[in-house]
Structure 1
């Protein structure tokens, strides 16, 4: 049976699946991301491929990876929690190790491609995904292709400056969207309001506090929705996509999507009259795997 080895490289775990062309998982699992170095990583992938070659006719390896991925060369630029993946061509290394064709794509881009192939954006030709987590990232997708930009920074929405410039000696770079409107920023704000030690809370606990009526959590969430809505408003008028999708763990909470849309409805007047609305991404844990497979199928059509 023809199938594909699909791998999602994460800082803590490497997830994998044997998939058919329709992204149905035949086998799947995960193992801790090796800390020893590149050779250990390649050995683990090679052994896994050899194992599944006995049961499946593997057509290739599809990789989802952190970092600034150059899909043409297979090299991973930038930085990540896995230093050894940055340097040589990952696709060439895997081809040499396994004898299979290989492709690689950035993990956020994979998640966006999954939505356009089988998820919430499958009826859209032009959409953006905004992933809210420790920071804010995302992707711009046009006709199932990622808009990468001249420096591979297309979709790095979190770098947008949202605050005023150089007041009280503070650089505007301290008021980027990631630093002021991410889940991490929300948590830190609640900790400050409650005079708690940084790192004591997480996102789940902030929402639990809000559900209990905690004033600090409720106020911080309202500000969070406003700041997210302002960034989305800017992106809508700059890019004018058909759909705007919200990803990241926080997007699974219905009140988050409702809160953002409520604030977006308020950002309208006689001039700024566009209807702006967001939806949650459909896929969660398997998004990177599905998108990596889609990228491979297009690259080797």
Structure 2
């Protein structure tokens, strides 16, 4: 059976799946990400691929990876929780081990591509995905292609400065950027501070549970969280003017989050700013990176399948 080996490289686990050209998964699993170095990582990937070759006609390998991925050279720039994957030609190294064609794409970009292929943004030519978690990242997609930018920073929405950026030393105050003012981590930190709790006491889910139980600190912080997100989204709509804006990350699965952001966006509409701006939740969750990595592979090696 013709199939593709797809990997989602994470700091804790490497997820994998054997998939066909329609993104149907025939076998899936995960293994701990090796912590001891590149050689162990390459051996793990090779063993998984070779283990499935007996049962499937594996045509190629698709990778989803953290970092500033150069899809043309196969080199992962930037930084991540897996230092040894950076600065080497990952596609060449895996190709040499497996004798199969290999593609690689950034994980956030993979998630966005999955949505445009068979998800919420299917049949949408121009959209952006905003992923909210520890920070805020995302992707800009036009005609099924990622807008990467001159420095591979296209979609790094979290770097936007939305507050007074002047710190006490005269340098930029990092707390002014969107990632550190409107991320899930920022929400949790704010509630922990208001309740005099040690850092790391709460999770995003627990903050929403507190709000549901009428905790005033949690309710007030969530209201401000929606406002801060709405302001950034408003700026993105007016600067990029996409057809759709999708929200990803674990928090996007809460219906009240999407409703809360949209309620705040509606308040920003006036006689001058007349656009109706609304967000939608991404369709895919844990499998998004795998689906998008497969799409990227097919686009590079078998474009007729997805055209």
Q: CA deviation at 1:197?
A: 1.0
In the alignment, which residue of structure 2 is the partner of 1:202?
A: 203
Q: Deviations over 1:205-246 (max 9, x none)?
A: 100100000000000000000000000000000000000000
Q: Distance in 1 between matches of 2:168 and 2:259?
A: 35
In the alignment, which residue of structure 2 is the partner of 1:120?
A: 120
Q: How many residues align?
A: 301
- 1:165 to 1:34, Cα distance in 2 relative to 1, 3 A: closer
Cα pair 1:108 1:288 within 8 Å, conserved: yes
In the alignment, which residue of structure 2 is the partner of 1:85?
A: 85
In the alignment, is residue 69 of structure 1 matched against residue 83 of structure 2?
no
In the alignment, which residue of structure 2 is the partner of 1:219?
A: 220
Q: Distance in 2 between matches of 1:169 and 1:182?
A: 25
Q: What secondary structure sits across from 2:21 in the alignment?
A: coil
Q: Distance in 2 between matches of 1:178 and 1:207?
A: 19
Q: What secondary structure sits across from 2:14 in the alignment?
A: strand
Q: Distance in 1 between matches of 2:90 and 2:155?
A: 23
In the alignment, is residue 154 of structure 1 matched against residue 154 of structure 2?
yes
Q: Which sections of structure 2, spanning at least 5 residues, go unmatched?
A: 303-307
Q: Distance in 2 between matches of 1:173 and 1:214?
A: 29
Cα pair 1:15 1:29 within 8 Å, conserved: yes
Q: CA deviation at 1:66?
A: 0.3
Q: Deviations over 1:237-287 (max 9, x none)?
A: 000000000000000000000000000000011010100000000000000
Q: What secondary structure sits across from 1:26 in the alignment?
A: strand
Q: What secondary structure sits across from 1:113 in the alignment?
A: helix
Q: Distance in 2 between matches of 1:100 and 1:133?
A: 34
In the alignment, which residue of structure 2 is the partner of 1:101?
A: 101
Q: CA deviation at 1:174?
A: 2.3
Q: CA deviation at 1:168?
A: 5.0
Q: Distance in 2 between matches of 1:61 and 1:119?
A: 22
Q: CA deviation at 1:166?
A: 1.7
Calculate the TM-score normalised by the size of structure 2.
0.97
Calculate the TM-score normalised by the size of structure 1.
0.99
Q: CA deviation at 1:167?
A: 6.0
Q: Which moved more, 1:48-57 or 1:279-288?
A: 48-57
In the alignment, which residue of structure 2 is the partner of 1:5?
A: 5
Q: CA deviation at 1:72?
A: 0.2
Taking only aligned residues, the RMSD between alpha carbons, in angstroms, comes to: 0.9
In the alignment, is residue 278 of structure 1 matched against residue 279 of structure 2?
yes
In the alignment, which residue of structure 2 is the partner of 1:186?
A: 187
Q: Distance in 2 between matches of 1:61 and 1:97?
A: 12
Q: Which moved more, 1:170-179 or 1:144-153?
A: 170-179
Q: What secondary structure sits across from 2:230 in the alignment?
A: helix
In the alignment, is residue 42 of structure 1 matched against residue 46 of structure 2?
no
In the alignment, which residue of structure 2 is the partner of 1:292?
A: 293
Q: Distance in 1 between matches of 2:198 and 2:45?
A: 41
Q: CA deviation at 1:173?
A: 3.1
In the alignment, which residue of structure 2 is the partner of 1:60?
A: 60
Q: CA deviation at 1:172?
A: 3.9
Q: CA deviation at 1:199?
A: 1.1
- 1:221 to 1:51, Cα distance in 2 relative to 1, 3 A: same
In the alignment, which residue of structure 2 is the partner of 1:131?
A: 131
Q: CA deviation at 1:87?
A: 1.7
Q: Which runs of 4+ in 1 moved over 4 A?
A: 167-170
Q: Which sections of structure 1, spanning at least 5 residues, go unmatched?
A: none
In the alignment, which residue of structure 1 is the partner of 2:305?
A: none
Cα pair 1:7 1:16 within 8 Å, conserved: yes
In the alignment, which residue of structure 1 is the partner of 2:22?
A: 22
